[in-house]
Amino acid sequence: METIIQASYLIAAALFILGLKQMSSPVTARRGILWAGAGMVLATLVTFMTPEILAGEQVNSNILLIIVAIALGGGYAWYSGKKVAMTDMPQMIAMYNGMGGGAAAAIAAVELLKASTEASNDLSGATTVANVLGTDVAILGILGAIIGTISFSGSIIAWAKLDGRLNRSKLLPKQHLVNAVLAIATVGFAAAIYFSADINTIIIFYALALVLGIFITVPVGGADMPVIISLFNALTGLAVGFEGYVLGNAAMIIAGIVVGSAGSLLTQLMAKAMNRSVANVFFAGVGTGDVVASGDGTEGVMKEIQAQDAGILMSFASQVVIIPGYGMAVAQAQHKIWELTQILTEKGVSVKFAIHPVAGRMPGHMNVLLAEAGVPYDMIYDMDDINADFKNTTVALVIGANDVVNPSAKNDTSSPLYGMPILDAMNADNVIVIKRGRGAGFSGVENPLFFADNTKMLFGDGQKAASALIQAVKELG
């Protein structure tokens, strides 16, 4: 039976890896999710084949708890997954990721408390948690507890920020100094757990780790949320891998390592796309302050354009490049934008979509929205592939994007965005920006592009503006 169990875990792990690999492409992503889901179902079913359960030793306790947990968690996930709006998807990702970290931390807590109780029963007082679990298991269990707990509480704060429930950028004066002291204290109590058998030490350790996760995430700016979500995803995977080693579960070890490494790579790529380090993301707080005016001397007013005129300009363009941002998600305008694209294509206009690596509120946010609307994958271009083409573009249509097309990132050394690679929309012959108001973007940095000579503003809700453009293009025959 043990051979069957381990073989099943190996198959489940292989399905996780294959599923994750297929998720790297929009073409195969749906299939990848199904494969990874099948792996999870297999791993869950194998749980019921452990010798203790088959012998009937835990039928009246753990089996019932497992079934109730699966029913509650699976039922709620199915309901919320069907109901959630695309604009709320980043919040859901952050929340579910936090649950994974919390689960890993809970596994560690159970093992540490069991070891603590066993060690405490030794009246000599010489037995420690490390003696009971073994050096390697104790170290990885404690590390998984720290990482999982921080990922749990940090992800909850990320959810609260994305959902508009928390708008604070600091909780205490000298927040970063407080965080450093708190981190040192957490590590100190982690070491104390290893060398002792005190249950109170474990409780204080978890409390400190929970608070640390909250405190290090609160100062992070809203514009950096995609990177933070990706980082916490990596941490959750790492914690799961560590706790898999503690439990001797091959599926958890492999799945955790794969998720942790993939999340780490994605975090580095996204930070690179912003020309910043991960540490800078945590400490800079871009998007936490007031509006920052451009320091390059840009002056002027935003020049408004009506949908009728914008439609004429786009209808007779040789090439239109559409740049979507979070505002498109809020307006749920992706379907109208795709309808506009189809009409323009029928008129002989070349239409492309340009995606910045950190557009939206989570990795791949814009790709998901466009795929939902039915936009073919070969019309969607990454920043590095499309930037040189803006010089040959008649109209760059920006809908709901701001910071990812901000020229300050290139020419204003005083800007918080300076150094971040952007989509070079300013190089197009004409730029049309669909925007609800005249305010700055999520980072709070003013955008000189909106005042440029070749830029016109089409103010209004994204979906209504796209509908007006469709009507204007249709009227031209």
Residue 173, helix vs strand vs coil? coil
Phi/psi region, residue 125 (left: phi>0; alpha: psi -120 to 50; beta: rest), is left
In angstroms, rounded to a whole number, what is the distance separating the alpha carbons of residues 19 and 97?
18
Given a contact cutoff of 8 angstroms between Cβ atoms, the answer to whether 39 and 13 are in contact is yes
Q: Find tokens 């814009």 and name the residue.
A: 366
Task: Give the CA distances from residue 373 to residues 223, 355, 462, in Å, rounded to whole numbers and listed in that order.
Answer: 25, 15, 15
Which of 173, 157, 153, 154 is closest to 165 using CA atoms?
A: 157
For residue 314, the number of C-alpha atoms closer than 13 Å in the C-beta half-sphere is: 36
Which of 203, 466, 182 is closest to 343 using CA atoms?
A: 466
**Three-point CA angle 51, 250, 41, nearest 5°:** 75
In angstroms, rounded to a whole number, what is the distance separating the alpha carbons of residues 86 and 374?
14
In angstroms, rounded to a whole number, what is the distance separating the alpha carbons of residues 390 and 75?
47
For CA atoms 76, 79, 83, 85, give the dihedral sign: positive
Q: Report the side by side order of strands in the sheet with 395-399.
A: 380-382, 350-355, 319-324, 395-399, 430-435, 455-459
To the query of whether residue 429 is one of the catalytic residues in this protein, the response is: no
- Burial class of residue 297 (count of CB atoms within 10 Å of its CB; 0-12, 13-18, 19+): exposed
Task: Give the CA distances from residue 458 to residues 334, 436, 445, 472, in Å, rounded to whole numbers and listed in that order.
Answer: 17, 8, 20, 13
In angstroms, rounded to a whole number, what is the distance separating the alpha carbons of residues 456 and 280?
34
Point out the catalytic residue in the list 136, 224, 403, 412.
Answer: 403
> Which residue(s) pair with 433 in the sheet?
398, 457
Task: Give the CA distances from residue 364 to residues 49, 93, 114, 357, 360, in Å, rounded to whole numbers and listed in that order.
Answer: 38, 12, 42, 7, 8
Which of 103, 82, 83, 81 is closest to 93 using CA atoms?
A: 81
How many Å from the N-terminal Cα to the C-terminal Cα in the chain? 71
Mind telling me the catalytic residues? 403
